[in-house]
Chains A and B, each alone.
Chain A
Amino acid sequence: MLSVEAVSKTFGGVQALRNASLSCAAGEILGLIGPNGAGKSTLVNAISGVLKPDAGRVRLEGKDITGRGPEFCARAGIGRTFQTIRLFKDLTVRQNVEVAHITCRAVRPDVAERIDIDRLLAQYELDGVAHALAGTLSYGSQRRLEIARALALGPALLLLDEPAAGLNENESEVLAIAIEGIRQDVGCATIVIDHDLRFINRLCDRLCVMDQGQVIMSGETSEVWRDPRVVEVYVGQSQPA
């Protein structure tokens, strides 16, 4: 589904990504983790077309989408949410979702036909506030709305940038269930970035660990946590408990 091959990106003198590679299959939930400044958001931005990589390739369903820009990537099937919530705050909840659905209707009409906006809002417990302005929602609801909006795009790949940030334990659990539901309902590949390791471990099939712009380890969740490089990044030189 998604294949990222040796992507590099430099900002001024800082190398934010160094030959970063990963892959994510349809129906898979991949966790992208690492300390602050590891390059996770830069990699997501390179995948979603916000940044043009200096080197390397990004392919979605076999199609080269490297550096083609955010419109192209979204139309190719990449839906995403943001570390800092970016809703259209003075449009209604429903209108936020409709904006993404415009693209889906234009480029994947067969997929768009299967997306019922009212059902989508109900799934994310937003049906009661469908006509409220997005900016008036609680933080947790705004997070759910971002995901609903990304799904209205009918994505082949869903990028969730810190979806559990600022949520309490209960809200995180509800969100984890919702993301698992996406796998069953939509079947798209999903990449989740988050610092909440309990949330990540509970949700993800595989993990990809980044540090200083590089992917230092990727594999099954349990296998990754046994890797000494990952342990060093997260807890220093000592052995994991």
Chain B
Amino acid sequence: MDYVLQQLLNALAFGAEYSLVALGLAVVFSIMGLVNFAHGEIIGVSAYSVFLAAALGLTSPIVAVLLAIAAAALAAVIFERVAFRPVRYAPTTTGLLTAFGVSIVVQNLFMLLISPKPQSVSILNGLNQMWFFGPFAVSSLQVMELVVAGLTILALVLFLNRSTLGLAIRAASRDFATVRLMGIRANRVIATAFAISGALAGIAAVFIIARRGSVSPDLGFSLVLKAFVACVIGGFGSLPGAAAGGMLLGFIEVGLLVALPQEYGGFKDALSYVIIVTLLVYRPEGLLGQRVELGDKEI
């Protein structure tokens, strides 16, 4: 029973982390049609900000958390202003290449300016403790990850549904050109979407630093690939889909780890993708994506 609960918590915690990062990708994609593969480097900027602040003498975990989120949001807005705005109306492939370019440049900057090797960051280690509930011992980090991801998603939903800017973002995610014809400022809407995306990356970065206790130049890249997969599973561009896809991916990965005999553990990723591809064969638009009807004029 203890084992089952632990694996359930593992799946939920992994899923929550994937969901946070996937939501960050989906917020930007839904408005700009941009798959921001530099999202991992936003996580990187956040993590290295905490590393640098700690190296300069910062000792407060609360300040470190706030710094991680603020640095990520700021980095996302700067990436948009410097790299993505000039190619905003270019073909999708240009945006994709720009994102890869930003990702490579920023990773190299981490290597050149700090170090190619992982650097220890212990300021958030206190978040990772064991909590005991009667006979059960659970990781405080996993519980916090789950609770914070849930609250963050709730806050995002409230912002999108209750605020004026949220309404503008939702409209822009449906039809960006028409929103501009309604006089909504494109730059403001997109900058806000990037800031939200960055803040989500910053929250994910806090948990990554707390778990790993170190930062490295490629910290966020593999996570973003998984988040991309989560977005595809959920239905690209759908925010609820990104959250659901992230959670499902967490369950698939942990489920396979539990189900596979130890000697076959190396097949976990391969089998995960077999499950995902099978799912997409039956539901190509993803779990919550919308099936596109071409109609008789667009065949």
Contact = CB atoms under 8 A, between A and B. Distances in A.
A99 B167 contact: yes
Contacts of A98: 167
Contact of A86 (B167, B168, B178, B184): B178
B182 A91 contact: no
Nearest to A82: B178
Interface string B143-181: 000000000000000000000100110110011011111
A50 B181 CA distance: 8
A75 interface: yes
A91 B161 CA distance: 10
Which of A49, A70, A86 has the most chain B CB atoms closer than 10 A to its own CB? A70
Contacts of A70: 177, 180-181
B186 interface: yes
A99 B181 contact: no
B183 A75 contact: yes
B185 interface: yes
A102 B164 contact: yes
A96 B178 CA distance: 11
Given A91-B170, A102-B167, A71 B178 contact: no
Interface residues of A, number: 27
Interface in A103-142: 103-104, 106-107
B183 A95 contact: no
A80 interface: yes
How would you classify the secondary structure of chain B's contact residues: helix, strand, loop or mixed? helix
B168 A99 contact: yes
Contacts of A149: 182
Nearest to A86: B178
Nearest to B174: A88
Contact of B174 (A71, A82, A90, A100): A90
A71 B167 contact: no
Contacts of A52: none
A150 B57 CA distance: 56
A217 to B, nearest CB: 29
Interface string A81-94: 01000101111000
B171 A107 contact: no
A74 B183 contact: yes
Given A88-B171, A91-B171, A98-B167, A103 B178 contact: no
A136 to B, nearest CB: 14
Interface in B177-217: 177-186
B168 A80 contact: no
Contact of A153 (B174, B178, B183): B183
Contact of A100 (B170, B182, B185): B182
B210 to A, nearest CB: 38
B171 A71 contact: no
A91 B182 CA distance: 15
A49 B180 CA distance: 10
Interface string A22-58: 0000000000000000000000000011100000000
Nearest to B181: A70
Contacts of B183: 71, 74-75, 100, 102-104, 106-107, 153
Contacts of A50: 177, 181
A99 B169 CA distance: 10
A219 interface: no
Contacts of A96: 171
A103 B177 CA distance: 15
A69 interface: yes
B266 to A, nearest CB: 43
A88 B168 contact: no
B180 A86 contact: no
16 contacts: A50-B181, A70-B177, A70-B180, A71-B183, A74-B180, A80-B181, A91-B171, A91-B174, A95-B170, A96-B171, A99-B167, A100-B182, A102-B182, A103-B183, A107-B183, A149-B182
Q: Which 10 A-B pairs give the minimum distances between C-beta atoms?
A: A74-B183, A103-B183, A70-B180, A75-B183, A88-B174, A99-B171, A70-B181, A100-B182, A86-B178, A88-B171
Given A96-B171, A99-B179, 6 more contacts: A49-B181, A71-B184, A86-B177, A95-B167, A102-B183, A103-B184
Interface of B: 164, 167-168, 170-171, 174-175, 177-186
